[in-house]
Amino acid sequence: MSNTSNPNYHWWQTGVIYQIYPRSYQDSNGDGVGDLPGIIQCLDYLSETLGMNAIWLSPIYPSPMHDFGYDVADYTDIHPLFGTLADFDRLLDETHQRGMKLMLDLVPNHTSDEHPWFIESRSSRDNPKRDWYIWRDGLPSPIRAERSASGDEAGRGVGGEGAPPNNWLSHFGGPAWTYDEGTKQYYLHQFVKQQPDLNYRNPDVVNAILDVMRFWLDRGVDGFRVDVIGLMMKDPEFRDEPPNPDWDGVKPFDSLDHIYTANLSEVHDLILQMRAVLDSYDDRMMVGETYLPNDKLMLYYGTPDKLECHLPFNFQLILAKWNAAGVHKMVDDYEAALPSDGWPNWVLGNHDQHRLATRVGSDQARVANMLLLTLRGTPTCYYGDELGMENVAIPPEKIQDPPAINQPEIAHLVGRDPERTPMQWDDSPNAGFAAPEVNDLWLPIAPNYKEVNVANQLNNPRSFLNYFRKLLAYRKATPALLWGSYSSIDPGSRDAQKNCFVFERQADDQRLLVVLNFSPQDQKLSLPGLGTGRIALSTNLDRAGEVNLADFNLRANEGCIIGL
């Protein structure tokens, strides 16, 4: 076996990150919601069965759960639903004992409206914490009156005296401002009204969040996924945002061009301060949540003398139209845009996006995972995607996600419950997520759980899960995949160019070819210059041995890794 430890690379470069949505992973106490002791029970699955290197937990802090934990009421404690700080310490210790890293979700842009900072801030205009959040007078002008929205329980902005200070919108529907009757001003919230935005122009707020980072780093966490990192600074003049000329008329939030609420240049100074905290510890990291095109995305790496995010999340595989030619170009463009010292990363799914197997189809999900685990850079996997879990249709009375509740007409587009359903462990009632007698799971189990579950798939040598395990094990043992170079290859005929994505990875004398058929038809590849190769792994786990690359047939929806 090749030597795959390399001191030139950090764990967050060679490792694979696995995202757990804690509410949905393993319920150990029968309340229908996953918890930390439940995750501890699954650590052997993560380290031994899968071979993951790092776990990222979506928020586990005390929260009234208006946005399922992304509304944090206390940054330095654990929600009783999930357990205690002692459970967390045990989770961290047991994770480390297995050689894995643990990353937390840091949610700095906003708190819960039940956070003591906000309770103080809204208590009076002269409270010392007033300026920790973003308060503005309403506009008296009747011209603006139509902007004054009526509130509702699902977290839309609420109008009151006058009209909202400007036209800014909430990502989750309605205005980004809510009127506070007590102090007769509006506060800003870019998500639900129970998630007021912090004011990072106040240095005390910056220091407070840096202290939160230190709290968890001192406890031993290995890094943070930083929620909406680009939204932390807003226009100090609170100018109206211009209309988006390219709006497709679907999501109201997209009707404006968000030049005054997102990706302001000042946010980079803030990120530098966060990075400095991380760098004062050993080998910790942050990955920023950044849905951006290449030119803007690359800014979040910083510069060699002013490093920012270790990884700014690259979500292009999630957003891409699933066709070979488009993905080929997208990967080449991303590679070309990376700063020379910027480490790439790729993501196929997360708790905000429709499930991979639903987006690309279950036939293509194996190809997509082969792509994720063979591209250059750090892969992040979403729990359940290793089984091919699909979106679950949520009955209307069970819908909980605020953007779906606020915008029923586009709930099918914006609702995120379908990709957050319980992990499918086995075919017992409740799929092994909770004890069989538990009645009220927070979200329903997928109807296909009797077939699509861990236990069942472990018994089937060619199952999705066993394929995923082999793929990951192969990656971990293969320097060309861990840190080798990347170059795409012209797959030959026009048909092949349209339907297949072919690339090479190389480290020292190890050369690998990855050939992926994105189409439901057989494809012929003609790569005479490459001679013969040996199939190391195929998506259906049913091919091996030597092949002639001048005349190579890829079956429908098939991918292969071929040693050259």
- Tell me which residues are annotated as active site: 227, 289
Using CB under 6 A as the binding rule, the residues of this chain from 395 to 424 that contact ligand NOJ are: none
- Closest to ligand NOJ by CB, 82 vs 191, is 191
Rounded Cα gap, residues 270 and 303, in angstroms: 14
> Do the Cβ atoms of 108 and 209 come closer than 8 Å?
yes
Does 228 contact ligand NOJ by CB under 6 A?
yes
Does 113 contact ligand NOJ by CB under 6 A?
no
Does 233 contact ligand NOJ by CB under 6 A?
no
Does 241 contact ligand NOJ by CB under 6 A?
no
Residue 130 dihedral angles phi and psi, to the nearest 5°: -55, -45
How many angstroms separate the Cα of 246 from the Cα of each of 25, 173, 257, 295?
39, 19, 9, 19
Rounded Cα gap, residues 43 and 95, in angstroms: 7
Rounded Cα gap, residues 510 and 461, in angstroms: 28
Does 352 contact ligand NOJ by CB under 6 A?
yes
> Do the Cβ atoms of 356 and 323 come closer than 8 Å?
no
Does 338 contact ligand NOJ by CB under 6 A?
no
Residue 104 structure tokens: 């937390």
Cα–Cα–Cα angle for 209, 213, 215, nearest 5°? 110
Does 16 contact ligand NOJ by CB under 6 A?
no
CB neighbourhood size of 143 (10 A): 9
* SS3 call for 470: helix
Question: Closest approach of Cβ 428 to ligand NOJ, in Å?
Answer: 30
Question: Closest approach of Cβ 41 to ligand NOJ, in Å?
Answer: 25
Cα–Cα–Cα angle for 446, 447, 449, nearest 5°? 70
Choice from 102, 107, 502, 516 touching ligand NOJ (CB under 6 A): 107
CA 130 remoteness from chain centre: 32
What separation, in Å, do the N-terminal and C-terminal C-alpha atoms of the chain show?
17
Does 133 contact ligand NOJ by CB under 6 A?
no
Residue 244 structure tokens: 């988006």
Does 64 contact ligand NOJ by CB under 6 A?
no
Residue 379 structure tokens: 């892969």
- Closest to ligand NOJ by CB, 368 vs 404, is 404
Rounded Cα gap, residues 270 and 313, in angstroms: 18
Question: Closest approach of Cβ 105 to ligand NOJ, in Å?
Answer: 8
CB neighbourhood size of 233 (10 A): 22
- Closest to ligand NOJ by CB, 113 vs 227, is 227
Rounded Cα gap, residues 65 and 59, in angstroms: 10
Nearest-CB residue to ligand NOJ? 70
Q: Which amino acid is at 122?
A: R
Strand 532-538, strand 311-312: pairing: unpaired
- Closest to ligand NOJ by CB, 223 vs 491, is 223
Does 179 contact ligand NOJ by CB under 6 A?
no
Choice from 27, 35, 67, 504 touching ligand NOJ (CB under 6 A): 67
Question: Closest approach of Cβ 189 to ligand NOJ, in Å?
Answer: 10
Does 313 contact ligand NOJ by CB under 6 A?
no
Does 191 contact ligand NOJ by CB under 6 A?
yes
Choice from 227, 241, 504, 558 touching ligand NOJ (CB under 6 A): 227
Does 501 contact ligand NOJ by CB under 6 A?
no
Does 197 contact ligand NOJ by CB under 6 A?
no
Question: Closest approach of Cβ 557 to ligand NOJ, in Å?
Answer: 30
- Closest to ligand NOJ by CB, 192 vs 331, is 192
- Closest to ligand NOJ by CB, 191 vs 467, is 191
How are strands ordered across the β-sheet holding 559-563?
A: 485-489, 500-507, 510-517, 559-563, 532-538, 545-548
Question: Closest approach of Cβ 104 to ligand NOJ, in Å?
Answer: 13
- Closest to ligand NOJ by CB, 59 vs 377, is 59
- Closest to ligand NOJ by CB, 61 vs 191, is 191
Rounded Cα gap, residues 262 and 229, in angstroms: 9
Residues that bind ligand NOJ (CB under 6 A): 67, 70, 107, 191, 227-228, 289, 351-352
